Every structure is written in C-alpha cells, then in structure tokens.
C-alpha cells in the first residue's frame, strides 16, 4: 500500500500533536511534521508509534524568507503530497486599539499568509496528482466574534473563505478530480493556547456550551482523521464545526 503524504503544521503540541498521533496510528500516512523548531518536533517524535513513517520540516513562520524556502522545499521534495492540515496558529489576545502593529503583522503572517501559501502549493501539487485534501484551521470566534481577538478572528474567518473559494476554483479548473478544501472550526479546546484565559472567562464559555464541557484535542483530531479519509470524499468547501453545540 502506498502511504499518503500528509503535512501537518504546528504538530508539536496541542491540536496539531493530537492530529499527528491519530494519523500515525492509522498506518496509512507518511507524515511530514512541522513546528517552529526542530527541538519541539524531536519531543513529538518520541511519542509516535515505532512503525510510523515521518519526517520533520521545522520552520518559524514569522520568518518570511524561511517560510518561502519551506514552501519551495515542500514542493521540491514532496511533489506526491496528498494532504495538508494547516493547523499552526497564534492568538495574541489584546484590545485592537492597544495592539502593537508588530503583533498584528505576526497574526496576519502565521494565521493567514502561511495558509494561503500552503493552499497555493497544495492546489498545484494536488492537480498534478489528481487528488488531495487541504484542511484549514478556523475557529468558532470567526462566526461569533470575540472581544480582544479581533485580528485573530479576522484571520480565522479568512481561512474559511479561502477554503470555500478554493473548493470552487478546484471544481472550475480541475473538475472531476478528487481535490477538496475544507475548513474546520473548533470551539473552546483545552490547549496551551486557551490555558492562559482567566477562570472567569472559562466559566463564561462553559455556560454557553450545551455539551457541558470544553473540547479535547482528540475531539478535533477525530474530525480531521475522518475529513482526510475517503469516507469524507463528498465533504468539500464548507466549514466543519467541532464545538459541543456552542454555535
């Protein structure tokens, strides 16, 4: 069986790590694991099953030339790429009026410029290979809005818009091929990203979640495992919500 090559960005911890572990246990994929540094990927590698086929591609996505090289290397070394889970992201919660421009630029770069460049590379490779799945990480705040996350929310909404448009574009340019662009939209998931929120804010969210609990990284990874598989071959373009009923 030929293993399908899947790039997972931000695989070192949180949601990305859970996705990497789930896909590793499927024994169907050759994983290309990304994080900002090699060090964090080495830690991840110790947790993977022995028979997992993987390689590491670290890159700090705030470094524009390094990111451009990363995309070039991806296309050069992995022309048989089957999937991308564009998961790496940052938050930087702050009132917009007081947010330094440097932070705004970082949010736009890591959360939006990078997914766009990866989607561009993926579309090229998928169309040559005749199939592929691109999964972008949005967030419930894209639809709900959230005070102190205006730029973050804007970048996340843009990821959904990107997938909706690219699904249509793939249909126009490469109709009949099995190329899919799907955005997923997690609710409140317990990771380092949400750890720093005050107990008061966490309590406020909890009251709004019909499931009565916060999401786990496995809740998101389960959805990704399904969406990347052939069982999801008719799911394309739209937004896939994983939020316990929050919205």
Q: Which is nearer to ligand NAP, 159 or 236 (by Cβ)?
A: 159
Q: Which is nearer to ligand NAP, 13 or 75 (by Cβ)?
A: 13
Q: Which is nearer to ligand NAP, 192 or 203 (by Cβ)?
A: 192
Active site residues: 152
CA 132 centroid distance within chain: 15
Among 199, 31, 161, 8, smallest CA distance to 89 is for 8
Q: Which is nearer to ligand NAP, 178 or 190 (by Cβ)?
A: 190
Q: Any idea what the Cα angle at residue 152 is, between residues 148 and 154, rounded to 5°? A: 110
Indicate the Cα dihedral angle 96, 100, 103, 109, nearest 10°.
90
Helix (H) or strand (E) holding 227: helix 217-228
Rounded alpha-carbon distances, angstroms, from residue 164 to 37, 61, 76, 145, 167: 31, 24, 27, 20, 5
Measured from the CB of residue 17, what is the shortest distance to ligand NAP in angstroms?
7
Are the CB atoms for 155 and 103 separated by under 8 Å? no
**CA atoms in the 13 A half-sphere facing the CB of 76:** 7
Measured from the CB of residue 211, what is the shortest distance to ligand NAP in angstroms?
14
Q: Which is nearer to ligand NAP, 109 or 178 (by Cβ)?
A: 109
Measured from the CB of residue 185, what is the shortest distance to ligand NAP in angstroms?
7
**CA atoms in the 13 A half-sphere facing the CB of 48:** 27
Measured from the CB of residue 81, what is the shortest distance to ligand NAP in angstroms?
18
Are the CB atoms for 167 and 180 separated by under 8 Å? yes
Measured from the CB of residue 96, what is the shortest distance to ligand NAP in angstroms?
18
The span from the CA of 215 to the CA of 222, in Å, is 12
Q: Which residues contribute to the site for ligand NAP (CB under 6 A)?
A: 10, 12-16, 35-37, 40, 60-62, 87-90, 110, 137, 139, 186, 188-189, 191-194
């Amino acid at each position: 069986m030929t293993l399908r090559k899947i790039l997972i960005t931000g695989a070192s911890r949180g949601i990305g790590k859970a996705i990497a572990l789930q896909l590793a246990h499927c024994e169907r994929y050759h994983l290309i694991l990304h994080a900002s540094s090699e060090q964090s990927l080495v830690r991840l590698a110790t947790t993977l099953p022995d028979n997992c086929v993987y390689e590491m591609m670290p890159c700090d996505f705030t470094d524009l030339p390094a990111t451009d090289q990363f995309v070039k290397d991806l296309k050069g070394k992995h022309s048989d790429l089957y999937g991308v889970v564009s998961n790496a992201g940052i938050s930087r919660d702050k009132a917009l009026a007081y947010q330094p421009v440097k932070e705004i630029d970082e949010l736009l770069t890591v959360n939006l410029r990078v997914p766009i460049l990866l989607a561009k590379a993926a579309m090229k490779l998928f169309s040559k290979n005749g199939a592929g799945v691109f999964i972008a990480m949005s967030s419930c705040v894209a639809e709900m809005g959230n005070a102190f996350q205006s730029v973050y929310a804007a970048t996340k909404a843009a990821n959904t818009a990107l997938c909706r448009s690219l699904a249509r574009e793939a249909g126009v340019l490469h109709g009949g091929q099995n190329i899919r662009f799907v955005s997923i939209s997690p609710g409140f998931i317990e990771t380092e990203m949400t750890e720093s929120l005050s107990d008061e804010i966490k309590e406020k969210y909890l009251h709004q979640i019909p499931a009565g609990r916060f999401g786990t990284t496995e809740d998101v990874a389960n959805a990704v495992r399904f969406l990347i598989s052939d069982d999801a071959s008719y799911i394309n373009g739209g937004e896939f919500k994983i939020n316990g009923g929050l919205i």
